[in-house]
Amino acid sequence: MNAGNPGKKSIMERFISIAGLAKPRNLIGMSSHIYVVIAIMFSLLFLYVSGPSFLGNVPIQYQRGLYAMLIAIMVFFKFPFSKKSPMDRVSFLDILMIGLSIFVFGYWILNFDELLLRVGNLHNYEYYIAAAAMLICLEVSRRVLGPIFPMVGIGVVLYSLFGDAEWITHLLRTKGFSWQYIAGYSYSLEGIFGSILYIIATFVTLFVIFGALMESLGAGAFFIGLPYALTSGLVGGPAKTAVVASGLFGSISGSATANTAATGAFTIPLMIKSGYRREVAGAIEPAASTGGMFMPPVMGAGAFIMADMLGVPYVEIVKVGFVPAIIYFLSVYMIVHYYAKAHNIRPLSKEERPDVMTILKDGFHFLIPLILLIVLLFNGISAQRSIYWTIISMIGITLVVRLLKRNEKSVKEVTNGFFKDIIVGLKGGADGSLTIGSVAGATGIVVAGVMLTGLGFSFTTGIMSLSGGSLIIAILMAFFAAYILGMGLTVTAAYILIAVLAAPAIVEFGVPAIAVHFLLFWYSQTSNVSPPVSLAAFVGAGIAEANPYKCGINALKFSAFILIMPLMFIYSEILMPNGLNFNAIWAMFGATMATIPYAAFIIGYFNGKLNLPLRLIMLVTTGLFFIPSVFTTIVALIITVAMFLYQKKYNGPINLESEKSDFKMV
């Protein structure tokens, strides 16, 4: 609320209200105690599920059924039914919903073998149980994500019911199904308990727990402090800290909003203090943090789902995704660099800079689990086992380091503090699982409807028809679909839907499936930074105390490479479809070099101020770098060097207050 007018919502609050974002409860008393116990049990359970076989194998129905049940219970504890519901405790309605969740998911667990043989052919009373499970999944997603995604689920169910109606266009007309068949099909391994929930429960949840434990054990401060020490002596240092820190922190968080909140709390005030405008400081951090969603080794939930859809090991996604992610961060870094040069934002003095070696000495051990994770993945160990042993090693290493550095503290004091941090991390892992977990069951309903009705095939036919056989038009259609879906859905939900509906159409053009999925995966991230619902930018704006809309526009400018880089996935070999050959290396080189003229074009500054014709030349040069050709790349290099030399005599910073500056930030 505004301090001057308590009854009036702030701009940020109004935007969040429009987006349908839910505000979690601040539980107290018995409700809080019960929730904490359930949350810790949730994290411990799925650590156990992912453990080595000598601990015992957990049957599939318990893995998936308990995940759906516990997510529903925690959501009904944490998120209210409406604004009028109590915000410090569960209501009577929540208790009823919790009881119903235990019953419908417990029934599926206990009767799994029998239900598996009777998919779509249940007893009469079981159809009502199945329908109740569907309603719970949709309500869980509504409470956490707002109304848009449940509306998509309801729309797919209605389409499954009335798909044969005469008023439906011939292109989309399909066979209609009874509500009983739809409910029974959704209440199965083809729907709610399908592969999406499995991937989230067994892979994504572990990475969320890993990130939460890393943060609770102190890694967050290290991953921010190290980049700050390395970059604070450079031009525009605090903004460059944001870029590097977001890359490091994003590699374990896999969430743009969490990344923005964690690193932005430190970097945004520093940027403002250094001379960055609030609307710019609040934009740089979310632009950098968005890269965390596709930065290995943790690339967000969508990357695990992508691996499942493609039928490839997760490590293959990590391999091909690493270089594009680095190039994206480099693009943000270069834009920040030219902004700082243009506005004469100076580095910190030597006395103000922290000592790199001191920070490394205090936190180097946090790098060991990440190195271990990468080594395990690249040696053919499954992602599930890799992250399990990474978590175990991180806990052990951190305890040993704390005991070695205990100084005056007793062993008991150190271990007590350590286990308190573990508890905080386990609870944080459960908290962090609610957003992605709330998608799982509802997505299963959508996927079941798409499979039943053949909607994916209809979409493919429609895209092929409307694009007129043009690949670039099909890509543009997919981009706008991802952008629109992102306005009301989480990036993971948006990716799943667009991948199910649009990916087959683009693959029909002869494009490798992995390139198509990477294109859609990147485009689904745009909702983090593109208005009207730029969630990560809202977080940055809140920290910067700036206008969220202006932060969103500026964040889109700083992250603009996210719009053009995916085209290289389609039109070049940057994703190494034929291995690391000359074409792949040359594409990587061209994309890397393109960050320089593109950043100069965005800012209007290179080795000096750029007027409009010179900026357009830099834009054309960017395009030449993107063309996977030796000739065009050499031409682009010559233009870039010539422009640099030409600019030397016009060198000088842009006056921040000048109205004649070519660079406009809203």
pLDDT at residue number 533:
66
Q: Burial of 410 by CB count in 10 Å (0-12 exposed, 13-18 middle, 19+ buried)?
A: exposed
Tell me if 210 sits within 8 A of 387, measured CB to CB. yes
Bridge partners for 609 per DSSP: 605
Phi and psi torsions of 531, nearest 5°: -60, 160
* pTM of the full structure: 0.83
Domain boundaries defined on the chain: 25-188, 196-405, 572-666
pLDDT of residue 143: 93
Which pLDDT score is estimated for 462?
81
Could you say which residues of the chain have pLDDT below 70? 1-22, 53-56, 120, 171, 251-254, 487-488, 532-533, 649-666
Contact in structure between 224 and 238 (CB atoms under 8 Å): no
Residue among 261, 246, 239, 282 at smallest CA distance from 537: 282
Q: What is the pLDDT of residue 519?
A: 94
Quote the strand ranges of 459-576, DSSP E: none
pLDDT of residue 660: 39
Residue 382 is which amino acid?
Answer: S
Whole-number Å distance between alpha carbons of 68 and 84: 26
Any residues with CB less than 8 A from the CB of 417 and at least 6 apart, and which? 402
State how far Cα 233 lies from the chain centre: 30
Query: Which pLDDT belongs to residue 393?
Result: 95
Q: How far is CA 115 from CA 65, 122, 153, 287, in A?
A: 13, 7, 23, 47
Entry field: residues in the chain: 666
* Interatomic CA distance for residues 274 and 347, integer angstroms: 8
Residue 5: the pLDDT is 47
What is the model's pLDDT at position 55? 66
**482: closest CA among 457, 463, 455, 458?**
463
Calpha distance 85→101 (Å, rounded) = 19
Q: Three-state secondary structure along 166-179?
A: CCCCCCCCCCCCCH
Q: Which of 50, 9, 22 is nearest to 438 (CA)?
A: 22
What is the pLDDT, as a whole number, of residue 656?
Answer: 41
Question: How many DSSP H helices and E strands does the chain contain?
Answer: 30, 0
The secondary structure of residue 532, as a DSSP letter, is T
Q: Which residues fall within 8 angstroms of residue 622, CB to CB, at 6 or more apart?
A: 594, 597, 598, 601, 636
Return d(Cα 305, Cα 228) in angstroms, integer. Answer: 34
High-pLDDT (> 90) share of the chain, %: 42
pLDDT of residue 7: 45
**Distance (Å, whole) CA 37 – CA 43:** 10
Give 313-366 as a DSSP string.
-HHHHHHHHHHHHHHHHHHHHHHHHHHHHHTT-PPPPGGGSPPHHHHHHHHGGG
